[in-house]
Amino acid sequence: MTATAQTETEIHGNYINGEWAPAASGETFENRSPADTSDLVGRFAASAKEDVERAVAAAAEAAEGWRQTSPIARANILHKAAEILAGRQAEIGRELTREEGKTLKEGIGETGRAVQILRYFAGEAQQPSGEHYPSMNPLTLLYTLREPLGVVALITPWNFPIAIPAWKMAPALAFGNTVVFKPASLTPLCAVRLTQALADAGLPPGVLNLVTGGASAVGDPLVRDPRVAGISFTGSNAVGAELRKLAAETGAKLQLELGGKNPAIVLADADLDHALTHVVAGAMMSTGQKCTATSRAIVDRRVAAQFTRDLTDRIGALKVGDPLATETQIGPAVSAEAADRIVADVAAAKGDGALLVGGDRLRANGHGRGHFVAPTLFGDVDPESTLGQEELFGPVLGVIPVDGLDEALAVANRVRFGLSASLFTRDLGTALAFVRGIQAGIVHVNSETAGAEPHVPFGGMKGSSSYSREQGKAAREFFTQTKTVYVDPPPG
């Protein structure tokens, strides 16, 4: 196997059946930094149906051998991949920042998260995988086994280009599945790096296959392939809806992680300075491009005016620029299309609230080299408006004033999403009432709506997911199926 090199003009192939190879067509696409479009991050295989065919065939061929491999041996490979990645954390973090645009601190931090995920699932592979039951017949040995699904398709987004692939791939592999991995076209280099780490750690050929390219050229034939037993997808609700229909036809097991319209409720008794810090971070880090980002600050009317003024100042003072520079707090949007869409959505939302700061594409002072958008705040947002209801997936926050917790909860819950939510208060009873009442899969008290530790379940309620959860013990639920075994002694 040949490792792909790190020069800017390097062409990175697919990884199929243990080999790096160009797309069958020989076509490539280029990947440029969203912070500086003159920075060519690399060229990647522009794959199509025949590449997908080969990858799924390799995964299907490897499935039985990998299923029969001891979980301890699988764990050892994940551990080794974690160490390889940890040794390259700073370098890969920098590449992540170059291709995705989040700040270097976030890029390096996310790479560290991928390491932690690989380590966690190496441990999880060694945990009990079934249960022993009593039987009506006292001589019967009655137990369950959790077995892999077979070939799984992992379709991952650009916003966490190494952590989300790791958090799907690590459990898929740990529990004995073989994988065809289709990363977002905007961030293929992180996908190459993660795949390299696992390949270099000794994963047998065919167990993990990487196919880069577009959604219709690669994703579509992949999810339609009848050999694919499971699909795990993180991305938009529109694609999620298509996948639901498709999986209903093909019978593939489906896991969806979709959008959010995450509220941070700030009550009058909260430590307001602490709340400000967390609301701004939740809304603006990674340029607001997280499904867990805070997009609604639902603030008690008694403190709303002051809180909104402070938010305006803090958001207006954020340093937007080169994500590789240490002083930068906010990098670019991921692409020109993303930046244009965010600005268009903000312009369309002007009747939904009062635009207080931001809203524009930034082009002066070197910002013209990339896809920069000013961090944006709206005051007095109508909770029923488009801005109050729909995910913008950018650095855009809206303040909704309310009277107390009951109204805050009613407003918070009156959206189709239910991914994450925060409450800021000093009152324990109020915090517990919030935890009971909020419709969200991930609930924070006195911390921001984003963030996810690898050893606990992650996922949303309502339109934010397909009810299954990722990470932690929950990952085993999705990536395995149950076999129930009755063993009776032979007669006589």
Binding site for ligand UN1 (CB under 6 A): 157, 159-160, 164, 234, 257, 290-292, 450-452
Cα–Cα distance between 34 and 95 in angstroms, integer?
A: 12
Distance of CA 120 to the CA centre of its chain: 17
Q: Which among 106, 122, 201, 228 has a CA at the least distance from the CA of 159?
A: 106
DSSP H or E stretch at residue 408: helix 404-413
> What is the closest distance, in whole angstroms, from the C-beta atom of residue 173 to ligand UN1 in the complex?
19
Cα–Cα distance between 333 and 263 in angstroms, integer?
A: 22
User: Which residues on adjacent β-strands are paired with residue 141?
Assistant: 487
Cα–Cα distance between 375 and 355 in angstroms, integer?
A: 11
Cα–Cα distance between 262 and 273 in angstroms, integer?
A: 20
> What is the closest distance, in whole angstroms, from the C-beta atom of residue 234 to ligand UN1 in the complex?
5
Is 337 among the residues known to form the active site? no
Q: Transcribe 91-157 into DSSP letters.
A: HHHHHHHHHH---HHHHHHHHHHHHHHHHHHHHHTTS--S-EE--SSTT-EEEEEEEE-SEEEEE--
Is 64 among the residues known to form the active site? no
Give the three-state DSSP class for 464: coil
User: Among residues 234 and 430, whose Cβ is nearest to ligand UN1?
Assistant: 234
> What is the closest distance, in whole angstroms, from the C-beta atom of residue 341 to ligand UN1 in the complex?
17
Q: 1 Cβ partners below 8 Å, 6+ apart?
A: 18, 19, 20, 199
- DSSP type of residue 361: B
Cα–Cα distance between 161 and 48 in angstroms, integer?
A: 21
User: Among residues 77 and 170, whose Cβ is nearest to ligand UN1?
Assistant: 170
Q: Which among 455, 463, 117, 442 has a CA at the least distance from the CA of 292?
A: 442
User: Among residues 330 and 357, whose Cβ is nearest to ligand UN1?
Assistant: 330
User: Among residues 322 and 470, whose Cβ is nearest to ligand UN1?
Assistant: 470
User: Among residues 22 and 463, whose Cβ is nearest to ligand UN1?
Assistant: 463
> What is the closest distance, in whole angstroms, from the C-beta atom of residue 156 to ligand UN1 in the complex?
9
User: Among residues 28 and 289, whose Cβ is nearest to ligand UN1?
Assistant: 289
> What is the closest distance, in whole angstroms, from the C-beta atom of residue 107 to ligand UN1 in the complex?
13
**C-beta neighbour count of 103 within 10 angstroms:** 24
Cα–Cα distance between 190 and 192 in angstroms, integer?
A: 5
> What is the closest distance, in whole angstroms, from the C-beta atom of residue 413 to ligand UN1 in the complex?
20
Of the residues 95, 291, 390, 448, only one is catalytic, namely 291
Of the residues 99, 100, 106, 257, only one is catalytic, namely 257
User: Among residues 159 and 195, whose Cβ is nearest to ligand UN1?
Assistant: 159
Residues marked as catalytic: 257, 291
